[in-house]
Amino acid sequence: MSSRSPGPPTGIRWPLVLCVVIAAAAETPRKGEGAAGARMQPSVFDESAAYERFMGRWSRQLAPLLVEFAGIGEGDAVLDVGSGTGALTRAIVEAVPSARVVGVDPAAAYVAYAQAHVPDGRARFLVGDAQQLDLADATFDRVASLLVMNFIPDPSKALREMIRVTRPDGVIAAAVWDYGEGMQMLRLFWDEAVARDPAIAARDERNMPLCKPGELAAMWRRHGLALVDERPLSIVMSFTSFDDYWAPFLGGQGPAGAYVAGLNETERAALRLRLRRRLVGDGEDRPISLQARAWAVRGVVPPR
């Protein structure tokens, strides 16, 4: 057993399902710095209500698909790496009646939000780091990570930690948005932002790591996981109006929100106009539906 922890956190009874949620620490890109490989401080993902408006509502749609893909079942002990505001935790406790969930996130605001909005007695949230889990070896039957791996400063280190805390024959699964082609909400945003200012092309989230088909699967295989399977998970993002699409960017969340926050009023208005024309034309406002695809991977931990 690892010296990091003598056993499960206080108050957790085994073999009840334990879900520990760890959102990635990262470093905010400096102005003009590329999104590819850029580390992002929690300041880019730190305001829980703004994150809910920007991405949390879509995470809740995607989470049940990852729960099913990961094969989480009754009696499993589950580690969920990447909670944000608790979407995956909620999906697990709703899908698996025997689940006991502990969420761990480096952002106190997210922990507080999750505690308030996932009040199920089987869910508990703590603070932690995906790259150095304070958890015992071979503890979990399933590990799942929702929309986090590409924001972790050292995803390989995080995956090694996931493998360490997973029992032999356990499954590790993750999903990351297809920022290049399949996540239309952000694809349209960056297409118009770069068209307006080509100098910021390196900040386009299409340059993010692990978001292209095959990249997650290759990483899983490099770390010795067996029976690796990768497939797309898709949802529809339905916006009631253009402002329902645009307003969440003003909250400063994620690379796109951080970019909008850095614009002056004139620049922001120009980008808004470009996006409105792209999405609804010059006529009256109307509802908008956009496709969103994530790439999901799963693999089995071999015997040690």
> What's the average model confidence in pLDDT over 136-144?
92
* Segment holding 126, helix H or strand E: strand 123-126
Whether 279 has a pLDDT exceeding 70, the answer reads yes
Q: Which of 93-97, 196-200, 217-221 is predicted with the least confidence, judged by mean pLDDT?
A: 93-97
pLDDT per position as a tens digit, 224-272: 999 999 999 999 999 999 999 999 999 999 999 999 999 999 999 999 9
Question: What pLDDT is recorded for position 166?
Answer: 93
DSSP conformation letters of 66-115: HHHHHT--TT--EEES--TTTHHHHHHHHH-TTB-EEEE-S-HHHHHHHH
Question: What pLDDT is recorded for position 92?
Answer: 92
How far is residue 61's CA from residue 138's CA, in Å, rounded to a whole number? 30
DSSP conformation letters of 208-269: STT-STTHHHHHHHHTT-EEEEEEEEEEEEEESSHHHHHGGGGG--HHHHHHHHTS-HHHHH
How far is residue 294's CA from residue 90's CA, in Å, rounded to a whole number? 19
**Contact in structure between 168 and 277 (CB atoms under 8 Å):** no
Question: What pLDDT is recorded for position 46?
Answer: 57
Q: Higher confidence at residue 132 or residue 159?
A: 159
* Segment holding 163, helix H or strand E: helix 155-165
Q: Which of 34-38, 175-179, 204-208, 277-281 is predicted with the least confidence, judged by mean pLDDT?
A: 34-38
Percent of the chain with pLDDT over 70: 85
Q: Which of 89-103, 165-179, 210-224, 281-295 is predicted with the least confidence, judged by mean pLDDT?
A: 89-103
pLDDT bin (cut points 50, 70, 90) of residue 150 is very high
pLDDT per position as a tens digit, 78-94: 888 877 788 998 999 89
pLDDT bin (cut points 50, 70, 90) of residue 44 is low
Residue 167, SS3 per DSSP: strand
**Contact in structure between 162 and 81 (CB atoms under 8 Å):** yes
Domains and CATH numbers, the chain: 42-180+208-238+293-300 (3.40.50.150)
Percent of the chain with pLDDT over 90: 62
Q: Which of 120-124, 195-199, 254-258 is predicted with the least confidence, judged by mean pLDDT?
A: 120-124
Question: What pLDDT is recorded for position 45?
Answer: 62
**Contact in structure between 27 and 197 (CB atoms under 8 Å):** no
**Contact in structure between 281 and 237 (CB atoms under 8 Å):** no
pLDDT bin (cut points 50, 70, 90) of residue 36 is very low
Which residues have a Cβ under 8 Å from the Cβ of 101 and sit 6 or more positions away? Answer: 17, 18, 19, 21, 78, 80, 89, 92, 93, 118, 120, 122, 123, 124
Residues constituting the chain: 304
**Contact in structure between 185 and 292 (CB atoms under 8 Å):** yes
How many other C-beta atoms lie within 10 A of the C-beta of residue 21? 34
Can you name the residues that pair with 226 across neighbouring β-strands? Answer: 300
Q: Which of 19-28, 56-65, 89-98 is predicted with the least confidence, judged by mean pLDDT?
A: 19-28
